[in-house]
Amino acid sequence: MGQLSEEGIAKKIAEQISVIAFKAPRLFRMEKEFTLLREAALRAYRQEYPNREHFLNK
């Protein structure tokens, strides 16, 4: 079974954050309610994967 590179892991996590923190709130028209979650997810992602925010689909 293949292993993901550091870059691959960052992309996979970014995909999940994009869905949970950006797409879902827009879909349900709940952007305001998801603000805290979105900010926390972005802060954690930036801390762990600096200079890879371009993987996020905002």
pLDDT tens, position by position, 8-41: 999 999 999 999 999 999 999 999 999 999 999 9
Assigned domain for 58 exists? no
Assigned domain for 19 exists? yes
Per the listing, tokens 């993901």 go with 4
Single-letter residue type at 17? I
User: Based on the structure, what is the number of domains in the chain?
Assistant: 1
In order of 2, 29, 38, 54, the CA distances from 48 in angstroms are 23, 29, 15, 14
So what's the pLDDT on residue 58? 85
pLDDT band at residue 1 under the 50/70/90 scheme:
low
| Structural domain that includes position 15 | 6-53
Assigned domain for 29 exists? yes
- Residue 18, SS3? helix
pTM of the shown model: 0.84
Assigned domain for 12 exists? yes
Assigned domain for 1 exists? no
